[in-house]
């Protein structure tokens, strides 16, 4: 079962890479095929991140416009095409969320929104590849069950809401060292699932 899921994922990765090559040659049917494959995954992801169906539709359009214009920027060393698309979608969603928060703070008379700390960006980068695997295969879904409720919650808050470890410690009133240890442990558990793919 696990072997067939891994084989299927590898087959998708090969097909996706081929679609991107065709998109670089302005093949609209290849873009349509990639859209049909991943829009059903990226749309609910966008809804979850932004809380808005309308914004999620805009994000989906942004992602595939980016793919059309910059398919050549994808590098296999950065992970699967699915992970790449999810990272683009997430980055665009975070831009929207930050912009909305900044406007809201401006309307409330507060100061400008500070830039994300390097710690926050490191958290995002560390969780990026791992959390994009969520929902791709049954084995990954099963691996999420191995996480404690706190590990899963911390990774979700970091990934979907862009919370830094310091923010999480303050918000949840848990020592920063505990937050770091729990997140590290959760990421390691998820990486163990991805390890067979790297062989």
Inter-CA distances, 177 with 60, 119, 165, 173, 182, Å: 37, 14, 9, 12, 9
Domain count for the chain, please give it: 2
Question: Taking the C-alpha atoms of 118, 123, 124 and 126 in order, what is their torsion angle to the nearest 10 degrees?
Answer: 120
Check whether residue 127 and residue 96 sit in a common domain. no
- Helices and strands in the chain, H and E counts: 9, 0
Check whether residue 27 and residue 102 sit in a common domain. yes
Supply the CATH number for residue 57's domain: 1.10.1740.10
Using one digit for the tens of pLDDT, what is the confidence trace for 70-128? 998 887 776 788 888 988 998 898 888 888 777 777 766 544 444 444 444 444 444 44
Check whether residue 59 and residue 103 sit in a common domain. yes
Check whether residue 128 and residue 186 sit in a common domain. yes
For the beta carbon of residue 190, count every other beta carbon within 10 angstroms. 23
Check whether residue 27 and residue 54 sit in a common domain. yes
**Domain enclosing residue 62, as ranges:** 7-113
Using one digit for the tens of pLDDT, what is the confidence trace for 33-50? 999 999 988 888 888 888
């Amino acid at each position: 079962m696990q072997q067939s899921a891994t084989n299927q994922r590898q087959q998708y990765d090969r097909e996706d890479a081929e679609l991107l090559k065709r998109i670089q040659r302005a093949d609209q049917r290849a873009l349509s095929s990639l859209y049909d494959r991943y829009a059903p995954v990226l749309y609910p992801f966008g809804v979850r991140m932004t809380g808005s169906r309308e914004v999620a539709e805009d994000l989906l359009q942004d992602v595939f416009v980016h793919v059309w214009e910059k398919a050549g920027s994808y590098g296999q060393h950065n992970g699967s095409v699915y992970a790449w698309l999810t990272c683009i979608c997430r980055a665009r969603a975070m831009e929207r969320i930050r912009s909305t928060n900044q406007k809201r703070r401006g309307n409330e008379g507060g100061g400008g929104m500070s830039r994300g700390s390097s710690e926050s960006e490191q958290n995002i980068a560390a969780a990026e590849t791992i959390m994009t695997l969520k929902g791709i295969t049954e084995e990954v879904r099963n691996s999420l069950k191995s996480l404690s409720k706190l590990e899963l919650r911390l990774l979700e808050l970091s990934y979907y809401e862009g919370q830094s470890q310091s923010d999480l410690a303050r918000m949840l009133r848990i020592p920063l060292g505990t937050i770091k240890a729990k997140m590290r442990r959760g990421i390691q558990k998820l990486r163990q699932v991805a390890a067979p793919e790297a062989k």
